[in-house]
Structure 1
């Protein structure tokens, strides 16, 4: 059960990070600073969520 939850967190982090990357790319096209800031925050949040889930998944298998 725990590994299934961690795998879902991995996917969720990837989706959040991907959304942030799309917003960053959009901000470069439109030159909107607010969109860039939101995209950067989402990208970093997705990366942190993914890495935390990955570390926890690896530790649970040891």
Structure 2
């Protein structure tokens, strides 16, 4: 039994690392996109700001699935 639990612990650790890495990647990607959008300042600035808000509200649901 101990051996099995050890195996599951390592598997769990590896899984956690992978999930954390993916989440971190997504987060940095979102940050970069937000920065780019912030610095570009297009003519339709109001529209883009609304769009970024929608993206932010959409992000958590996509990562949790």
Structure 1-normalised TM-score? 0.49
Task: Say which one has the larger Rg.
Answer: 2
TM-score by length of 2: 0.47
